[in-house]
């Protein structure tokens, strides 16, 4: 059985697609593309597809991952193009490698997020982030399936700052500037790196922490996008490519 790891996105309005909705769409794409799937054994065989750390519904993402098992070998790039053409725009398959290493989920140590705060001045957001990072702990509450839970949102944060495009550039306008061209209002864009810990700390938990420590409350909900997830470089606070090990292990010429 050949195994292929895929990276896909959730963009635009497709960020509101639930994980279950994506699973259905992906299985239809597998059938339309006539992918020779391997199936589990038993009375109700299922195609061998496994998902890793899916983003919450309503959150856009450039870095979602899954793995499929094939009954016949296929070229990863040709398979990627087939599946991408069979999915709606916004659910885009952007990378594919043959599985050559194990423990992939363990490599997903952290996620890098972009938080777009429309109606918030970048200088105000930068000051709030500084206050958040100065705190030893930031307790927040979130309703879970087991009831209301209180936990520390600060400990999981590896890096938090204005996006590089806004540093020292507060008077610019445009998509990555200080004003939202869609509304003409101020817009702060933050870069956040969060370790994957237990309990999981999500971007909305960190936003709750900003409200608790610095009284920062955007007038409209933040637009959240996962830019990357993978191994964490603790020294630089950057998230690296989790597929790099599979590429490095490929025989020469592949």
61's CB contacts (< 8 A; 6+ apart) are 9, 10, 15, 55, 225, 226
Which residue ranges make up each domain of the chain? 2-99, 108-239
Stretches where the chain sits below pLDDT 70 are: 168-183, 253-254
Instruction: HSE, CB side, 13 Å, CA atoms: give it for residue 247.
Output: 8
| One CATH from 3.40.50.970, 3.40.50.20, 3.40.50.12280, 3.30.70.580 for 2-99 | 3.30.70.580
135's CB contacts (< 8 A; 6+ apart) are 154, 213
> Is the pTM value of this prediction over 0.85?
yes
Predicted confidence (pLDDT) per residue in 193-223, tens digit: 999 988 899 999 999 999 999 999 999 999 9
Predicted confidence (pLDDT) per residue in 106-136, tens digit: 999 999 999 999 999 999 999 999 999 999 9
CB atoms within 10 A of CB 60: 22
């Amino acid at each position: 059985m050949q195994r292929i790891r895929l990276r896909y996105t959730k963009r635009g309005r497709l960020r509101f697609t639930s994980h279950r909705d994506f699973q259905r769409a992906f299985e239809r794409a597998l059938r339309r593309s006539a992918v020779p799937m391997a199936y589990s054994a038993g009375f109700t065989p299922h195609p061998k597809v496994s998902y890793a750390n899916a983003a919450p519904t309503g959150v856009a993402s450039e870095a979602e991952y899954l793995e499929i098992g094939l009954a016949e070998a296929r070229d990863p790039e040709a398979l990627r193009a087939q599946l991408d053409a069979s999915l709606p725009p916004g659910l885009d398959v952007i990378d594919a490698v043959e599985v050559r290493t194990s423990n992939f989920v363990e490599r997903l140590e952290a996620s890098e997020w972009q938080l777009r705060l429309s109606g918030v001045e970048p200088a105000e957001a930068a000051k709030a982030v500084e206050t958040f990072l100065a705190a030893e702990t930031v307790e927040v509450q979130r309703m879970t399936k087991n009831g209301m839970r209180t936990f520390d949102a600060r400990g999981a944060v590896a890096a938090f700052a204005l996006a590089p495009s806004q540093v020292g550039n507060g008077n610019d306008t445009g998509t990555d500037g200080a004003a939202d061209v869609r509304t003409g209002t101020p817009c702060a864009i933050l870069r956040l790196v969060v370790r994957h810990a237990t309990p999981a700390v999500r971007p909305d938990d960190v936003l709750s922490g900003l409200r608790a420590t610095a009284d920062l409350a955007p007038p409209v909900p933040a637009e959240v996008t996962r830019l990357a997830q993978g191994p964490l470089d603790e020294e630089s606070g950057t998230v690296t490519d989790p597929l790099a090990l599979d590429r490095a292990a490929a025989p020469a010429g592949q």
